[in-house]
């Protein structure tokens, strides 16, 4: 049975009514799941599945920022001896699953059109439920149909300009003339003395060698 799921990968037979105005995706690829979902599942219906031992790594609470212990949890906190950090309460994480060396959309062999661009019919759609992402609320953000999540609102990003201090608000540190420490100056003096001794020894050795050559010459 598992082998049949893997033979279902690829774009062969993916389209219904190919080449006609009624063309659409018709072959779901449901296994393995197209993504891994972790954290707080925002769908109330997930509570029953979590209570039944499904949706591992997820939890549901009525209040978004409530700890997992306030609802139904399938996290591994007791197994690993760690608790979810408070600033992760309410977060829902979705990570796509890839099949190395294959098309990331249909999991079949890599395929390119004449221009070299990817031409997979599953591009922009969920290969499990065949939903088109652009047609879903919030453009299918955090779509995880295997966890009952159609989409979630995108988080509002803070304006990067407002988080930066204006130039006239920056407090400059007072300018203090730089001076080397006494230990540094002592070390530098020692290095200079050693270098001078080494240079003097080299000059003496060179002079001795020159004198020896002069005596040996006729």
Q: What is the mean pLDDT of residues 138-142?
A: 89
- What pLDDT does residue 14 have? 76
Q: CA–CA separation, 109 vs 56, rounded Å?
A: 31
What are the pLDDT digits (tens) for 39-92?
999 988 889 989 888 888 999 999 988 998 889 998 888 787 888 888 889 899
- What pLDDT does residue 4 have? 47
Residue 80 three-state SS: helix
Q: Which two tokens stand for residue 207?
A: 């002079």
What are the pLDDT digits (tens) for 164-212?
656 666 566 667 777 878 888 888 888 788 888 888 888 888 788 777 7
Burial class (CB in 10 A: 0-12, 13-18, 19+), 122: buried
Q: CA–CA separation, 203 vs 210, rounded Å?
A: 10
Q: pTM for this structure? A: 0.59
Residue 123: alpha-carbon gap to chain centroid: 21
- What pLDDT does residue 3 have? 44
- What pLDDT does residue 41 have? 92
Domain ranges of the chain: 183-218
- What pLDDT does residue 1 have? 41
- Helix then strand then coil, % of the chain, to nearest 5: 35, 10, 55
Is the separation of the CB atoms in 80 and 30 below 8 Å?
Answer: no
Q: CA–CA separation, 99 vs 9, rounded Å?
A: 10
What are the pLDDT digits (tens) for 89-120?
989 999 988 888 888 888 888 877 666 556 78
């Amino acid at each position: 049975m598992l082998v049949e799921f893997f033979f279902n990968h690829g774009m062969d037979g993916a389209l219904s009514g190919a080449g006609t105005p009624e063309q659409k995706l018709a072959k779901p690829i449901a296994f393995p799941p197209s993504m891994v979902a972790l954290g707080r599942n925002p769908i109330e219906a997930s509570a029953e599945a979590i209570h039944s031992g499904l949706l591992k790594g997820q939890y549901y609470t009525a209040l978004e920022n409530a700890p997992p212990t306030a609802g139904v949890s399938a996290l591994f906190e007791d197994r690993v001896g760690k608790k979810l950090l408070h600033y992760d309460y309410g977060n829902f994480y979705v990570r796509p699953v890839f099949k190395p060396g294959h098309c990331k959309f249909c999991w079949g062999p890599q395929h390119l059109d004449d221009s070299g661009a990817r031409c997979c019919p599953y591009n922009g759609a969920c290969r499990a439920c065949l939903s088109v992402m652009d047609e879903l609320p919030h453009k299918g953000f955090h779509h995880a149909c295997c966890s009952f999540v159609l989409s979630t609102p995108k988080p509002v990003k803070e304006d990067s300009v407002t988080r930066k201090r204006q130039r006239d608000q920056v407090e400059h540190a007072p300018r203090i003339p730089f001076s080397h420490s006494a230990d540094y100056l002592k070390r530098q003096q020692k290095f200079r003395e050693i270098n001078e001794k080494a240079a003097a020894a080299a000059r003496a050795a060179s002079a001795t060698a020159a004198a020896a050559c002069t005596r040996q010459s006729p």
